[in-house]
Each structure stands twice: as C-alpha cells, then as structure tokens.
Amino acid sequence: MQAIKVENLSKTFRVKRKEKGMKGSIRAILHPQTEEIRAVERISFEVEEGEMLAFIGPNGAGKSTTIKMLTGILYPDGGKVQVLGIDPTKKRKQLAYRIGTVFGQKEQLWTHLTPYDNFQFFGAIYDIPDGEVQRRIGELAERFELSSFINTPVRNLSLGQRIRCEFAASLIHRPSVLFLDEPTIGLDPVVKESVRSLIRQMNEELHTTVFLTSHDVGDIEKLCSRMIIVNAGKIVLDDSMEHLHRSGSSLENTIMEIYKSEGRTAIS
C-alpha cells in the first residue's frame, strides 16, 4: 500500500526584487517588483509503506518545499497530495497525529526543559494517556540510550545527545511516516552512524516509512532503497539504489554527474 502519493504537485513563490543601492531601495517602494519562482513544478511520485526514500537535490531544488507540502505546512498551487490517505491541506491536524518530523537545523525540543519533560509534553500534545506516555518514554530511553541524560536540560546536551532526543520526541506517538530533513547535519561520524542505525532500527521494528532529504551520501547509501533527485523543482531521477549500484559508478559520482548535467539550477 502507498504511504505517500503525489500527483503533479506544484508550488510557486512570489519573491520581491530590488535593484542594488539606495536608488534601488527607493524605487522598490514606489514601484515594487516581484518575480515568480517555481519551487516545485508538476512532480509525481509514490512511496510504499515501510519504504525508505531519499529525496535529494542541490540547494534550492525544492526538497524542503515538497516536505512542507507533504506535511501540510505549505499549500500547493496545484496537484494532489495524499499522505496515509489524508490530504494534508485539508486535514493537517489529523495527519499530524500519524506523521513525525525531524528537521536537523530546527529544534523542536524546549531547551529549558529536560528530555523527560519534553517527552511528557509531546505525549500530551499527541493525546497519549499518561500511563502509556511513561511506558513509551522508558522504551525510547532504552532504545536511544538516553537514560544518563534524560533529566538534564536540553540546552546542556551535546548535539549528538540532542539529535537522539529529537528522534525520540518525534517517535513518541509512533508515527507511520517519518520526514527527516537533513537529520545528520553537523554531526560527527560516530554520532552520524548511531543516528543511521536508529533510523534503520525504527524502520525494521516499527515498519516506519522514511522520507529523507540529505546532502550526505552516507545517509542515502546506508539507509535508502530508492532515490529521487529533484532539480529546479522537477524530478530528474527516480530509481532504486540497487539499480544505481549496478551501474558501476559510485553513488557520489552518479549524483554529481546528474547535478552537473542538470546545471544545478537553484530557486534562490
């Protein structure tokens, strides 16, 4: 069964344009000018339940915009989206109960609270009964080895510890689909490896569908079974990792060649 179904999804942003210097600033007040930027242009794809998909592309290719439309944060200008059979634009709140998100560059934890208080907080947000929250906190603490710092304020944790807590917080409600936006950014190789093994474990044990964007070839190679490359808002490759590996070239080289041949067009 499909966890995600996208048909001809499009999103256009209107961005202000200003000429350089003071003259340009004054002109921008008198004659404001805007430019239309097509961040995502009629893309279509499907993701099966339990699949781990890498959704990659150069900066500004439209990856994050796509994730934000899939999670109901941004409204598409055209096309259809279904995540777990739910239209995110119409039933964002209903969908929120069934998906999890980890944005490597954004904290969702409350930094002045401890991970334990944060997990309790997220448990309540997702309407999980107190007793069940306690049970899940214990389970997550064991799985992610959080016990030694579960009562330390988040602001005092190392980046690696914090990311593990971010994962645990996003899993407290046992989401069926997990959206990961550069989850290993800024981590050292050891912590990166531990985060990857956590993602793998989650996928194997809970059958969680993973939608991953990352610039790290290691993340893609070690986790995903399929890769979609987007550039300038369009899909330029959608293939299985197995098939890509059979081509003989390393994954990094393959990605680089595609980026180069597509001209690495960015939206901003």
Partner 1 sequence: MRKYAVIYRSVLMENLQYAANIAMGFFAYFVFIFIFIRLWEYIYRTPEEVIAGYTKAQMIWYVMMTEMIWFGSNAGAAARQVTMDIRSGNIAYLMNKPYHYTWYILAKYTGEWSIRLPMYAGLAAVIGAWMVGPVPRFRIVTLPAMILCLILGITINAVFKICISLISFWIEDANPFQWLYDKLILVVGTMFPVEIFPAALQPVFKLTPIYTVCYGPAKLIVDFSADKWVEIVLAQALYLAAGCAFMFLVYRKGVRKLYVNGG
CA atoms 242, 214, 65, 172: torsion sign: positive
Rule CB under 8 A: say whether 214 interacts with partner 1.
Answer: no
* Of 229, 234, 232, the residue nearest 43 (C-alpha): 234
Among 93, 131, 148, 190, the residue binding partner 1 under the rule CB under 8 A is: 93
Task: Round to the nearest angstrom and report the end-to-end CA distance of the chain.
Answer: 36
Provide the mask over 223-242, with x wherever binding to partner 1 is found by CB under 8 A and - wherever it is not. Answer: --------------------
3-state secondary structure of 109: coil
Residues in the chain: 268
Which one, 47 or 69, has the nearer CB to partner 1? 69
Rule CB under 8 A: say whether 185 interacts with partner 1.
Answer: no
Burial tier of 226 (Cβ tally within 10 Å: 0-12, 13-18, 19+)? buried
Rule CB under 8 A: say whether 31 interacts with partner 1.
Answer: no
- Range 102-141, binding partner 1 (CB under 8 A): 103, 106, 108, 110, 112-113, 117, 120-121, 124-127
Among 43, 51, 52, 72, the residue binding partner 1 under the rule CB under 8 A is: 72
- The 10 Å CB-count burial string (b at 16+, else e) for 130-149 is eeebeebbeebbebbebeeb
Count of chain residues binding partner 1 (CB under 8 A): 35
Rule CB under 8 A: say whether 101 interacts with partner 1.
Answer: yes
Question: Do 214 and 179 form a contact (C-beta atoms < 8 A)?
Answer: no
Which one, 50 or 153, has the nearer CB to partner 1? 153
Which one, 26 or 124, has the nearer CB to partner 1? 124
Which one, 119 or 144, has the nearer CB to partner 1? 119
Which one, 122 or 244, has the nearer CB to partner 1? 122
Q: Residue 12 pairs with which residues in a beta bridge?
A: 38
In degrees, to the nearest 5, what angle opens at C-alpha 60 toward C-alphas 57 and 64? 75
Residues that bind partner 1 (CB under 8 A): 13, 39, 60, 62-65, 68, 71-75, 92-94, 96-97, 99, 101, 103, 106, 108, 110, 112-113, 117, 120-121, 124-127, 267-268
